[in-house]
């Protein structure tokens, strides 16, 4: 990845375009033992009974995908994702293409950190999940 000196406010991460299938959503939910908590992550009918349009991704899965955007950028360097905040605004549905974006909003030389806005969009460019990340560029 780029060094702390090389990055700039306004630099972008991604965008990462992803098609998350229902099977991948189920795999995540089942791996994390969530299928037994709420059928909304594994089953369209169970989700519809809750008034949802169909299956949705667990919030934690969205957080995982947003973190992945940042850790892909970090690669195998020793920069450290130190904070991640997320807000789940609109449910993320599987079997759709989502795009994951990042944008550097601040750079603090005193503690060698970068602040990054991150978000997940659907095909209509609606922001479904928004968040912020902090990366520490360790020496």
Q: Which residues contact another protein (rule: CB under 8 A)?
A: 18, 24, 27-28, 31-32, 50, 58-61, 63-68, 71-72, 75-78, 80-88, 131
Name the CA radius of gyration of the chain, rounded. 16
The nearer residue to another protein, 8 or 64, going by C-beta atoms, is 64
Smallest gap from Cβ 2 to another protein, in A, equals 16
Q: Are 66 and 133 in contact (CB under 8 A)?
A: yes
Q: Which is nearer to another protein, 76 or 110 (CB)?
A: 76
Concatenating the DSSP letter of every residue in 39-103 gives GGGT-HHHHHHTT-SS----HHHHHHHHHHHHHHHHTTSS-EEEEEEEEE-SPPPSSEEEEEEEE
CB of 124 to another protein, least distance (A): 19
Select 85 or 106, whichever has its Cβ closest to another protein: 85
């Amino acid at each position: 990845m780029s060094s702390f000196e090389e990055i700039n406010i306004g630099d972008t991460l991604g965008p990462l375009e992803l098609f998350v299938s229902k099977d991948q959503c189920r795999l995540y939910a089942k791996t994390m033992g969530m299928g037994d908590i709420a059928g909304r992550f594994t089953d369209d009918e169970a989700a519809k009974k809750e008034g949802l349009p169909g299956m949705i991704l667990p919030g934690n899965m969205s957080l995982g995908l947003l973190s992945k955007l940042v850790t892909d950028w970090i690669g195998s360097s020793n920069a450290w994702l130190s904070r991640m905040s997320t807000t789940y605004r609109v449910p993320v549905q599987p079997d759709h293409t989502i795009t994951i974006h990042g944008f550097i909003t601040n750079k603090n030389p005193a503690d060698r950190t970068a602040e990054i806005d991150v978000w997940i969009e659907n095909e209509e460019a609606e922001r479904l999940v928004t968040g912020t990340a902090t990366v520490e560029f360790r020496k």
